[in-house]
Structure 1
Amino acid sequence: MPHRPPLPPRPTLETLCAHAGRSRREPEPENTPFVPSIAQSTIFHLGDSAQAEAIFAGARPGYAYSRFGNPTVEALAVALADLEDGAGALVTSSGNAAVLCAVAIAMDGRNGPLVTHPDIYGGSFELLQILSSVLHVPVQFIDAQNPTAWSEALVDAGAVLLESPSNPLMRLIDLKATVEAAHQNDAPVIVDNTIATPFNQSPFLANVDWIIHSTTKYLNGHSDMIGGALISRQPLTPNARRIHKNLGGTVNAFDAWLVLRGLRTFALRMAAHNHNGAAIAAWLLNRPEVSRVHYAGLPDHPQAAVGRRQMKHGGAVLSFELKGGRAAAERFIDRLRLIVHAVSLGGMESLATRPAMSSHRGMGDAERERAGISDSLIRLSIGIEDLGEIKADLGQALADH
């Protein structure tokens, strides 16, 4: 048997991406495929009674049923934990399923309310409304841009769920200060890192407890699957796995493999996304049709100092408001030619949507106003197309407003 060298230290994010699906935590068997296979199977042979008992009891590794665990899904979980430098990950069937699973784990045994902010992503807002009205989970929507109100709410929180940057207004929340305040009451902090991505922000450096992602977005990057994940800073507990198994909306093996495939180019894609996103945000600032630009990387962003501390780059998602109100926003959308009018974000193609009509439609008028979602707001997910062609399409769509 040839001598195996010791495992290398933690690689860079770029190297982790290029080798996504290969375990760096333990040596792989000889002659294994570099690209993980797809274990597209519901069931697994359990062996004899003693072997089956050991698998179900957790005394030995193994698989019984793909809702409980699957080799391809586990390979993705390991890759995502590595990417965020976490201790373990659970993979779900959507980003919303990841939010549900994370909230259930964080709130288990806690008495205080789940504290969040009103400008959270519309899908998460609707989910929390359902949890509140149907399951009577106490939820408090607190303006995180009001430091006093936010800090006071954290004192009695059962758990905290936040986005930074928020979707779609790109507001930032100080992760370190939030964690320090919440942990005084032992309240777990969950951060949705979908918009920032592990390329631009590392929430575990601020000691947050859970990171959630919609893997549909940048991590997959090809707009061809739906999925999510929650990643833990601490080793996963049996209870966390139990909640995930029964509540997490487990992803199937093929969709997990698609995310693994997407991770291979994630770092390269993000460099291109970041370049184009920053350039478009700066370009929109000088357009007479635009009244305001929301982008985490702008020097005059209201929380620019927070951004400099906890983000490496502003990313490629931004929003802006048009001076002509809803009519101008609808005319802009209708005139786009290269940029696709579609929901979601993080694919290689540039997308535009009007949040009041789409992602935040489930909010009432008063709730949208409180969250700052105006009828003239346009959200852009800037892709990796030629920058000049993106600007040209935006320019012709904005003209004559």
Structure 2
Amino acid sequence: MMNHHDSWLEQAAGNPASDPRHEPSPPRRQRNASYQLATRCARAGSGPREAGRNASVQPAIHQSAIFDLGAPEDAEAIFSGARKGYAYSRFGNPTVDALARSLADLEGGHGAVVTSSGNAAVLCAVTAALQGRQGPLVTHPDIYGGSFELLRILADVYRVPVEFVDPADEDQWFRALERAGAVLVETPSNPLLRLIDLAAIVQHAKVGGAEVIVDNTVATPFNQRPFQFGADWVVHSTTKYLNGHGDLIGGGVIRREPFTASHRSIHKNLGGTVNAFDAWLVMRGLRTFTLRMEAHNRSGEIVARWLEQRPEISRVYHPSLDSHPQRELFGRQMSHGGGLLSFELRGGEPAAIRFLSRMQLIVHAVSLGGPETLATMPARSSHRGMAPDARQRAGVRDGLVRLSVGLEHVDDILADLDHALRAET
């Protein structure tokens, strides 16, 4: 049965504020109504202090596959849903549920489920959003490479109709949205940091009743609040900024409205659930999330502006830059540009390879959002599974370098970039 600790946590999912550039405050009826985002993150997974309770300050790890069902009548109440309880960790786990409540709180949604990876989160959300729908899943060509490969499998193996439409062609994009079965977008996109107007997407998708799924992994709820613009679902790779330590693989799905029994059945039976220890690691990361994002945002913008001044570089992709073609949309939709950026060297692919080989502090590795600054060539890593012509349509050139700016001192990051770039002079 849910105790007072769990009940207080379940109340943590608040509605987003009207201004996307300010932190959300939960409804006044909730006990943590006055708490800012940083406070709620610092206490992720924890309940209120109670005199004499002697509870652990850190959330517990319920690392168990099974739970004692008690008497037959207790088991019946749990399995029927008449009473909150646990039977098997694929169906539910107290530690995993605590993380789900924290994720819902962060995004301002009504509920969340936790998955074993970001791709599992996308699969869960797409399956739920397409349930009972007839139209295609509409997305864009430069969606994250892992998501692109997943959608290709869904189309090839399960015959799910998927349409890749360029949002830059507004007439074609809006027409596709209006006849869609569901919509999946990533904004900013990875690795080119292109933005998609969420308010416009929702307006056109609702013409045909399609639900909108937003991959908010790159932006994070610190920098962008999709539910404020009417999105129905938000997905995350918790591997990235939310965990922030590069030591687990995980994902999450948050819904603006309550999850239905059918939605939860989809999550349970697709099999992409997570274990208690990984869920606990994400909650540990959430406790420093806002502090880390302040550093990522600050250093990301400094590095992006510095790179723009380098003669070896032909173009830098970061939404905070004045040169970004969607700078006005950035001002309306995001509060900060984040710690992810990409750039192209004038020497193309050979120059990019030399750059990676000369790095000393920066790590040549995939992923993003961790404490280390990471660099990689997407065409040879995250987007390698895309056919060359599909990569070209997405704008991912062979010599593109993606940089995830970490938590090192920004002067040290710039010094290493300078050293690696000087090979081109």
Same fold (TM over 0.5): yes
**Residue in structure 1 matched with residue 313 of structure 2 by the alignment:** 290
**Residue in structure 2 matched with residue 142 of structure 1 by the alignment:** 165
**Residue in structure 1 matched with residue 37 of structure 2 by the alignment:** 13
Task: State how far apart, in whole Å, the 2-side matches of 1:28 and 1:251 are.
Answer: 33
Equivalences for 1:275-286 in 2 at 5 Å?
275-286=298-309
Equivalences for 1:51-200 in 2 at 5 Å?
51-200=74-223
Deviation at 1:248, TM superposition (A): 4.8
Task: State how far apart, in whole Å, the 2-side matches of 1:302 and 1:399 are.
Answer: 28
Deviation at 1:8, TM superposition (A): 3.3
**Residue in structure 1 matched with residue 358 of structure 2 by the alignment:** 335
Task: State how far apart, in whole Å, the 2-side matches of 1:400 and 1:229 are.
Answer: 41
Deviation at 1:144, TM superposition (A): 1.3
Task: State how far apart, in whole Å, the 2-side matches of 1:178 and 1:60 are.
Answer: 39
Task: State how far apart, in whole Å, the 1-side matches of 2:34 and 2:278 are.
Answer: 27
**Residue in structure 2 matched with residue 352 of structure 1 by the alignment:** 375
Task: State how far apart, in whole Å, the 1-side matches of 2:226 and 2:52 are.
Answer: 33
| Segment drifting more, 251-260 vs 295-304 | 295-304
Equivalences for 1:190-229 in 2 at 5 Å?
190-229=213-252
Q: 1:31 aligns with which of 54, 71, 80?
A: 54
Matching of residue 319 in structure 1 with residue 332 in structure 2: no
- 2:354 touches 2:423 (CA, 8 Å); kept in 1? no
SS at match of 1:400: helix
| Change in CA separation of 1:202 and 1:45 when aligned onto 2, cut-off 3 Å | same
Aligned pair count? 397
Deviation at 1:32, TM superposition (A): 2.4
Aligned AA for 1:149? Q
Instruction: Give the TM-score normalised by the residue count of structure 1.
Output: 0.97
Superimposed CA distance per residue, residues 95-129 of structure 1 (whole angstroms, 9 cap, x where no aligned partner): 00000001000011110000000001000000000
SS at match of 2:134: coil
What runs of 5+ residues in structure 1 fail to find an aligned partner? none
Task: State how far apart, in whole Å, the 2-side matches of 1:69 and 1:212 are.
Answer: 19
Deviation at 1:23, TM superposition (A): 4.7
**Residue in structure 2 matched with residue 22 of structure 1 by the alignment:** 46
Task: State how far apart, in whole Å, the 2-side matches of 1:353 and 1:224 are.
Answer: 18
Deviation at 1:146, TM superposition (A): 1.9
Superimposed CA distance per residue, residues 330-373 of structure 1 (whole angstroms, 9 cap, x where no aligned partner): 00011110000000000011000000000000011110110001
Aligned AA for 2:33? P
SS at match of 2:183: strand
**Residue in structure 2 matched with residue 266 of structure 1 by the alignment:** 289
Task: State how far apart, in whole Å, the 1-side matches of 2:142 and 2:51 are.
Answer: 45
- 1:218 touches 1:347 (CA, 8 Å); kept in 2? yes
Matching of residue 242 in structure 1 with residue 282 in structure 2: no
- 1:7 touches 1:27 (CA, 8 Å); kept in 2? no
SS at match of 2:120: helix
Deviation at 1:11, TM superposition (A): 2.1
Task: State how far apart, in whole Å, the 2-side matches of 1:28 and 1:172 are.
Answer: 48
Task: State how far apart, in whole Å, the 2-side matches of 1:346 and 1:216 are.
Answer: 8
Task: State how far apart, in whole Å, the 2-side matches of 1:33 and 1:74 are.
Answer: 17
Aligned AA for 1:63? Y
Deviation at 1:28, TM superposition (A): 11
- 1:84 touches 1:202 (CA, 8 Å); kept in 2? yes
| Change in CA separation of 1:43 and 1:279 when aligned onto 2, cut-off 3 Å | same
**Residue in structure 1 matched with residue 322 of structure 2 by the alignment:** 299
Task: State how far apart, in whole Å, the 2-side matches of 1:176 and 1:68 are.
Answer: 35
Aligned AA for 1:7? R
Task: State how far apart, in whole Å, the 2-side matches of 1:347 and 1:215 are.
Answer: 11
- 2:339 touches 2:405 (CA, 8 Å); kept in 1? yes
Aligned AA for 1:335? R
SS at match of 2:324: coil
**Residue in structure 2 matched with residue 48 of structure 1 by the alignment:** 71
What runs of 5+ residues in structure 2 fail to find an aligned partner? 1-7, 9-28
Task: State how far apart, in whole Å, the 1-side matches of 2:174 and 2:34 are.
Answer: 35
Task: State how far apart, in whole Å, the 1-side matches of 2:52 and 2:269 are.
Answer: 32
Deviation at 1:6, TM superposition (A): 7.3
Task: State how far apart, in whole Å, the 2-side matches of 1:6 and 1:86 are.
Answer: 14
Instruction: Give the TM-score normalised by the residue count of structure 2.
Output: 0.91
Matching of residue 365 in structure 1 with residue 377 in structure 2: no
- RMSD of aligned alpha carbons: 1.6
Superimposed CA distance per residue, residues 172-213 of structure 1 (whole angstroms, 9 cap, x where no aligned partner): 000011011101211000000000001100111001000000
